[in-house]
Amino acid sequence: MIMNWKRISWLVAIETAILMVGSTLILPGGEDLQRYYVPFAAGCVKCGFMPHPAQWLLWPLALIPTRIIWTVWTAVSITGWLVICRYTQVNPAILMLSFPMFGQWWLGQVDVLVCVGLVLAMHTRNPYARGVGIALALVKPQLSIIPIIYLLLGDDQWLDTLIVPVAAALTSVAMFGVLWPLDWITNTSSIPEHAWRLASGDVWKFALGQIWAPLLFSKRGERINASIMLSAMATPFTSVYSYVLMLATVKCPWWTIPLSFIWVLAYPIMGASSMRLAWILPASLLAWTVYGLKHETISTNSNCYISTAQR
């Protein structure tokens, strides 16, 4: 009997999604959503530590009753992640069962908006649609700036692509004032310390020095996806739960799931600070893809084949 692993993966992913949404009715999660993003959506630009224009996307959160906000957002965001998996053809079970996805769910994070933007910018042929994707991805620029650079480097219509982001920037200046970027940057200095950022805090200087690494890949889509993996380590403001961006764009092997939890082995000794070891996941996947690149002349069937952008 031949197992239909693709169908099984989708069944596992959908069941996990249903359990995540259902559990929000009885569990006390969604802390970041309610503490930062809902107040930000309601008009407190200093509450969410996000660029002010992100309010244009998040304002509906302020309309949802507090008692169901986590449930509603979990349903919306997980649906978004599954749609992304369908579009990029990655294994949805690997994404849904990974530790970073559990972090997205438990905290009520909004990285799905960033990923939608990056995937749109990577895969669409229309330069204006790519511009919309870039503007959307800049909801969290610390996650998207490096991939955006590589997106533009390989874009022969980059001037047209930049029309929408520039128009959005000018509109934001008209609405929030010319100094809003400075206010935002200043405000980020007061972001509370969090165990989720320990990993990037330890390795970002080294990773930033490897910003050239995506140039090893000859195909544009491969370079962009490699840059997404690199950006998971190359800024000190990247949290472990944001590793979902690479898991939603990279076709990774099964061992991605246990590797995403590898830091837990050190928990009895290091406590919550053991999460600083979580950088092992993006580092391993990036090393695996480089290894696959080195041996692609021998075997074209890499176990972690990066999904390429369709142009």
Distance of CA 56 to the CA centre of its chain: 19
Which pair of structure tokens corresponds to residue 276? 């600083």
Q: How far apart are CA 27 and CA 168, in angstroms?
A: 38
Query: Cβ(81)–Cβ(103) under 8 Å?
Result: no
In this prediction, residue 310 carries a pLDDT of 45
In this prediction, residue 192 carries a pLDDT of 83
- CA dist 219 to 9, 18, 231, Å? 28, 37, 18
Query: Cβ(203)–Cβ(238) under 8 Å?
Result: no
In this prediction, residue 225 carries a pLDDT of 86
| Tens place of pLDDT per residue across the chain (311 aa) | 456 888 999 999 999 999 999 999 999 999 999 999 999 999 999 998 999 999 999 999 999 999 999 999 999 999 999 999 999 999 999 999 999 999 999 999 999 999 999 999 999 999 999 999 999 999 999 999 999 999 999 899 999 999 999 999 999 999 999 999 999 999 988 888 889 999 999 999 999 999 998 998 888 888 898 999 999 999 998 999 999 999 999 888 999 999 999 999 999 999 989 999 999 999 999 999 888 766 554 444 434 444 444 44
pTM over 0.85: yes
Please state the φ and ψ torsions of residue 89, each to the nearest 5 degrees: 65, 25
In this prediction, residue 296 carries a pLDDT of 55
Distance of CA 4 to the CA centre of its chain: 29
